[in-house]
Structure 1
Amino acid sequence: MNKAIVVGASGGMGYSLVLELVSRGIEVVAFARGESKLTQLFAGIELVSIQAGNAENREQLICASKGCDVIFQAMNLPYEEWKDKLLSITSNIISAAERNNAKLAVVDNIYAYGRSRGEMLIEDMEKDPHTRKGRLRLKMDHLLKKANVPTLICHFPDFYGPNATNTYIHYTLQQLLKKKKAGFVGPDHILWEFVYTKDGARMMVDLAIHDNVYGQNWNIPGCHALTGKEIERLLKNVLGEEKELYFISKPLFTLFAIFAGKGMREAVEMQYINSEPTILSGRKLEAFMGNVGITSFEQGIKETIAFMDV
């Protein structure tokens, strides 16, 4: 891979993908709508060219992807835009890959799997989404599989990390940096899995450089699964013993959503994840790559806070 484009480069995973690719000497087009944010993140970084554009515009994507070997799709649409935009933007990205003879590497979440029923989620299990957003992600998966483009789909658990602002952990950290107590979405006893964006980007690029991984789905594992109480203890270690969490159950989240914006109301149906452990198995990735090396949650939180303080 000599040149790549990252669609959604100003987001959390997009930011880490750009830096990971550059660290390997790969030329990168950083593509997103906000030119000022792209400039803030990447101005002056050798090998990065900034391209402001809209993924809803097929011709802009095709033009920006010219000469790229791989298109990384890391764009994170707000929940309320999924119904109208997710599949059309996916079609545009497929067209850009077809026109430029490029491969596709797609950042995906866990929603297409549906309920875990307490089992580890593995790539070849039957996907049975029960939410509207889960069914949309499965339609996206089918659209990508039908395309005449080599496609790598990576499933990630919840993100945290530098510039990953549209995450529950970011919301919690923002509060804790300002006051002693913060909300954590979910009960205190359910196991959670989080992936540090730097780790996720590294593992995804490690896969993307191999031709034989395309045409497959891959789970990208996060750090050791933690309960809400264990997360609170680790946050105390980093920020001080006086810091506390209060845990937001689904009923409380639903109540908040009534008075909040549409985005939060759209998130209500995804709170099923708070009622059971939803953990990705990384066995397939580890069998292919060996020890993938995962940053501890505590270290990742320290680095995330350092970025937030900049």
Structure 2
Amino acid sequence: MGKIALFGAAGAIGSSVADALRSQGRPYRVVGRSQASLEASFGSDPLAEIVTWNPEEPASVQAAAQGVETLVYLVGVPYWDFRLHPVLMRQTIEGAVAAGVSKLVLIGTVYPFGRPRTERVAEDHPREPHTFKGKMRKEQEDLVLAAHQQGRLQTTILRLPDFYGPNVERSFLHLAFRAAHEGGRADLIGPIDTPHEYVFVPDVGPVVTALADEPRAYGRTWNLAGAGVTTQRTLVVRIFAEAGRPPKLRVAGPWMVRALGLFQPFMRELAEMHYLQTTPVLMDDSALRGLLGEVRKTPYEEGIRRTIEALRTPAAAGTR
């Protein structure tokens, strides 16, 4: 197998993919803006090769991709600057092609679908985003799929729902975990009784590596659904119970989100995505399971227990 590189590796999903590669004894490259951040996350792993890049400079992208067979793209942007998603994707594809990369895997999201038309959303559900963020993510996906159709390199997309897990701070459940652990009040975006699904981050890495290694995966998109349909309330009550505390919840509705947005850029940008709280996208991943066979999905109770345990033992926190 050729070298695999994780572009934007310093986040939670990057760590999960790195864990999967490490368990397979496979050398890999981690690429990010910050040498210090990469060293902190991967410096102790002899299998990890650390490379820095500037995703806004094509020459830097090409240099970071030299000698790579498969590029896994996990690059995030500020929530208030989603216009960068297609810009950086275009430059990454150009640099990857110039460097001779054979395959590219984009880790995507449900945003390009827009409002769901069906109870379960399969890969062939129309992509009709009505939000700016959804449109930017769709444009990013279009670039990836076009690169495959044009024969420039093999590409595929894995879409994920909301996620959570040990040391996963960029999760809507993270504040609830911290509140339960510290005895505080969980701040939630309502309504909190609508159906929802979450994926446990350590489960993602093995799926990504299996997909990257499967020749039949390329030229299309794939969904990874969560560990079952639940609700925010159900999970947060369970989180507090695991922490040994009675649940304390504070729920912000859409008007409160808009009001908070006057002072907090993240909340201001979150307002346009509020439809996901009332008409959530619940994914159908039967195609992925048909391709890969059994897909490990940690039950919510186990995932919550492991996340609380990581908060109690910070020295052992994380997915590595």
When normalised by structure 1's length, the TM-score is 0.94
Between stretches 238-247 and 215-224, larger displacement belongs to: 238-247
Does the CA-based 8 Å contact 1:157-1:195 persist in structure 2?
yes
Q: What residue is the counterpart of 1:23 in the other structure? A: 23
Does the Cα contact within 8 Å between 1:5 and 1:28 map onto a contact in 2? yes
Change (3 A) 1:75 1:306: farther
Q: Tell me, what secondary structure is at the counterpart of 1:153?
A: strand
- Which one-letter code corresponds to 2:92 in the other structure? I
Q: Structure 1 counterpart of 2:127, which letter?
A: K
Q: Superposition pairs for residues 33-112 of structure 1, below 5 Å?
A: 33-83=33-83, 85-102=84-101, 103-112=103-112
Query: Where does residue 12 of structure 1 map in the other structure?
Result: 12
Offset, 1:117: 4.2
Match of 2:277 among 257, 270, 274: 274
Residue 159 of structure 1 aligns to a residue whose secondary structure is strand
Change (3 A) 1:249 1:40: same
Partner-residue secondary structure (3-state), 1:174: helix
Distance 2:4 2:40 in 1: 20
Report Cα offsets for 1:224-246 as digits up to 9, x if no partner: 11112211232133112323222
Q: Cα distance, 1:109 vs. partner?
A: 0.5
Q: Which runs of 5+ in 2 are unaligned?
A: 316-320
What value does the CA root-mean-square deviation take over the aligned residues?
1.7
The alignment covers a number of residue pairs equal to 308
The 8 Å contact of residues 176 and 236 in structure 2, kept in 1 or not, is answered as: no
- More deviation in 9-18 or 242-251? 242-251
Deviation at 1:221, TM superposition (A): 1.4
Task: Give % identity.
Answer: 27
Residues 5 and 68, structure 1, Cα contact 8 Å, conserved in 2: yes
Within the candidate set 193, 209, 213, 2:213 is matched to 209
For the 8 Å contact 2:4–2:71, the answer to whether it is kept is: yes
| Distance of 2:22 and 2:77 partners within structure 1 | 25
* Corresponding residue of 2:238: 234
Give unpaired runs (5+ residues) of structure 1: none
Letter of the 1:101 counterpart: G
Whether the 8 Å CA contact 1:108–1:153 is kept in 2: the answer is yes
Preserved contact between residue 35 and residue 51 of structure 2 (Cα < 8 Å)? yes
Query: CA 1:184–1:21 in structure 2 vs 1: closer, same or farther (change >3 Å)?
Result: same
Secondary structure of the structure 2 residue equivalent to 1:50: strand
Q: CA deviation at 1:104?
A: 0.3
After the TM superposition, which parts of structure 1 deviate over 4 Å for at least 4 consecutive aligned residues? none
Q: Aligned match of 2:193 in 186, 189, 193?
A: 189
**Which TM-score applies when normalising by structure 2?**
0.91
Match of 1:293 among 270, 273, 296: 296
The question of 1:257 aligning with 2:261 is answered: yes
